[in-house]
Structure 1
C-alpha cells in the first residue's frame, strides 16, 4: 500500500472519530463503530506505517530503501549514467518526504488511539 493510501486511511480514521476543529459540529459515531476502528483499523494502519518506515530505513539489500536507492545512484554514476543517477537522487528526496508523512500519520493514529481507544490497545 502506498503512502497516499495510508494518509487517506488515517485521515478517514480521524474524521470518523475525532470530528473537526472548525466551527462545524463534530462528527459523532456510535461506540460500536469506535470499538471496531480501535480493534481493526488502528492496528492495521499502525502496522502499515511501521512496515513502510522499516522498508525506507532498511539496508542496501532492502528493495526501495534509502540505502538501496543511494547504492543504485552510485552505481549509475560509476557507469556514467548521470541521468539515471539524477532520477534516483530525486527519488531519494521523496523518501525523506515520505518519512515525514509517515511520522505525522503515526502521531495522528497515536493521538486518536489515546483519545478514543483507551490508549493501551
Structure 2
C-alpha cells in the first residue's frame, strides 16, 4: 500500500470515529459533584466574571480599564506617538470582545445555577 492510500484510510477511520463519538450519551456527574460545583466553583466564577467586568468598565484611574486605555491612547496621539496610540486602540477593541465573552460566561453560569443548583 502506498502512503496516500494509508493516509486516506486513516482519515476515513478518524471521520468514522468522530461520528460515533458525537452520538454517545451525555456525561452525567454525581449529585455530590454537582453540590461541590454549586457551592464552590459557581461562586468563584461569578466573582471573577464580576471583578473583570468591573475592571474593564472602571474609571480612568483603574489600571487596564477601557477609559484608562482611551486616556493613554489620547495622550499618545497628543504627543505624536501614533504607533503607540494604534496599539492602545487595538487593545481597546480587545476589551470590548472580552466584555462580550464575560457576558456569555455569566449567562452560562446563571443557566447552570438555575438548572442544577436550585435557588442558591
Q: Could you say which TM-score interval applies, normalised by the shorter chain?
A: 0.7 to 0.9
1:26, CA displacement in angstroms? Answer: 1.0
2:25 aligns with 25
2:5 aligns with none
Mapping of 1:68-87 within 5 angstroms? 68-87=68-87
Q: Is the partner of 2:84 in helix, strand or coil?
A: helix
Q: Take 1:24 and 1:89, find their aligned partners in 2: how far apart are those partners?
A: 45
1:38, CA displacement in angstroms? Answer: 0.1
Q: Take 2:84 and 2:73, find their aligned partners in 1: how far apart are those partners?
A: 7
1:90 aligns with 90
Q: What's the RMSD between the two structures over aligned residues?
A: 0.8
Q: How many residues align?
A: 99
Larger RCO, structure (CA 8 Å, separation 6 or more): 1
1:56, CA displacement in angstroms? Answer: 0.2
Unaligned runs of 5+ in 1: 1-21
Q: Take 2:23 and 2:106, find their aligned partners in 1: how far apart are those partners?
A: 26
1:105 aligns with 105
TM-score, with length taken from structure 2: 0.81
Deviation string 1:5-40 (CA, Å, 9 cap, x unpaired) is xxxxxxxxxxxxxxxxx6431111110000000000
TM-score, with length taken from structure 1: 0.80
Q: Take 1:46 and 1:106, find their aligned partners in 2: how far apart are those partners?
A: 7
Greater than 4 Å deviation, 4+ residue runs: none
